[in-house]
Homo-oligomer: A and B are copies of this chain.
Amino acid sequence: MSPADAAGPADVVVALDVGGTGMKCALVRPDGSTVHTERHPTDAGRGPDAVVETILDVAEGLAGKARADGLDPVALGIAVPGVVDEAAGVAVWSANVGFRDVPLRDLAAARLGLPTALGHDVRVGGLAEARLGAGRGTGHVLFVAIGTGIAAAHVVDGVAATGAHGAAGEIGHILVRPGGPRCGCGRDGCLEAVASASAIARRYAEATGAGPTGTPASAADVADRAAAGEPAAAGVWAEAVEALADGLATGQSLYDVESIVVGGGLAQAGPRLFDPLRAALHERMTFHRRPRLVAAALGDEAGCLGAALLALDAR
């Protein structure tokens, strides 16, 4: 029985996707349709206790809003970035939210009196893409989010692998360029240090000697300039695409999926990313089965939808 089968007609899940800057919030029906959305600032600078308080207030407000609208809030799902121990319901380490071993699931369950699930933002995003989005209909999906960083979720039959310590899917920190650029994690040559949106912007600034004045070019700008034939942009973009192809080929070697779904800000580059990336990936598939390579379909709603699915699963 799927969660939707068991649902009452007025059932909704309160869903929050907490990022370093803002939180996306929604009331989500068990079939994945969204009946209401809100956004709130996270204001992580206030410290973790204040952020937790805001999360609980916002969640309570959403549950109240649901009841006022004649809906029945049946569960609460919260997604946070970093290292998340989903089994224990603990935000182990979330640098950009300031969390360190915060038992967020139990705090929220106690405040709202609802069955609550805590998930990892990329893993629940992958869950949503696999079940409701671009991976729908395929049992083995690798979701890769490329933005400031790069992270992945391996979803098999609608369940995202968490790993032993809530840290599975760190595809941004696999070695692709020995002796390459220094990564934020302290090692050289990680995929994230070559091919994340922020790495592309940084490497282009370095390549062009752009100084601190003026607006620096974003990864999207680099994609545009590469398409327009600017050599420096074309070089940085091609290096990122090659590195991504190496990283995805490694993912395919280890996971053997049917679909690779790429989301996050860099996926907005569309065919400028996907056409060369698909070609480079397939070139690397010697004996492997070629996975489908597709763009994410749910945009920045994926986190809320996935948090809601996780909460329904855990109920």
Residue of B nearest to A142 (CB): B254
Q: Judge whether A249 is part of the interface by a CB distance below 8 angstroms.
A: yes
Chain A, 231-281, CB within 8 A of any chain B CB: 246, 249-251, 253-258
Known A-B contacts A140-B164, A289-B165; the reply to A174 vs B256 at CB < 8 A is: no
Q: How far is the CA of A239 from the CA of B167 in the complex (A)?
A: 28
Q: How far is the CA of A120 from the CA of B296 in the complex (A)?
A: 33
Q: How far is the CA of A176 from the CA of B140 in the complex (A)?
A: 25
A185 and B286 form a contact (CB under 8 A)? yes
Q: How far is the CA of A175 from the CA of B157 in the complex (A)?
A: 28
10 contacts between A and B (CB under 8 A): A140-B163, A164-B258, A164-B289, A168-B255, A168-B256, A174-B254, A175-B176, A175-B246, A175-B250, A254-B255
Task: Say which residue of B156, B165, B254 sits within 8 Å of A152 (CB atoms).
Answer: B254
Main secondary structure of the interface of A (DSSP, over half): loop
Known: A173-B287, A175-B246; 4 extra A-B contacts, CB below 8 A, are A156-B161, A165-B256, A167-B288, A173-B253
Interface size class of A (residues with CB under 8 A): 35 or more
Q: Judge whether A170 is part of the interface by a CB distance below 8 angstroms.
A: yes
**Minimum distance in angstroms from A177 CB to a CB of chain B:** 7
B140 and A256 form a contact (CB under 8 A)? no
B169 and A254 form a contact (CB under 8 A)? yes
Q: Judge whether A187 is part of the interface by a CB distance below 8 angstroms.
A: yes
Q: How far is the CA of A175 from the CA of B185 in the complex (A)?
A: 20
Q: How far is the CA of A174 from the CA of B286 in the complex (A)?
A: 12
**Minimum distance in angstroms from A96 CB to a CB of chain B:** 14
Q: Judge whether A139 is part of the interface by a CB distance below 8 angstroms.
A: yes
Q: Judge whether A293 is part of the interface by a CB distance below 8 angstroms.
A: no
Q: Judge whether A166 is part of the interface by a CB distance below 8 angstroms.
A: yes
Q: Judge whether A212 is part of the interface by a CB distance below 8 angstroms.
A: no
Q: Judge whether A171 is part of the interface by a CB distance below 8 angstroms.
A: yes
A289 and B167 form a contact (CB under 8 A)? yes
Chain A, 100-153, CB within 8 A of any chain B CB: 138-140, 152
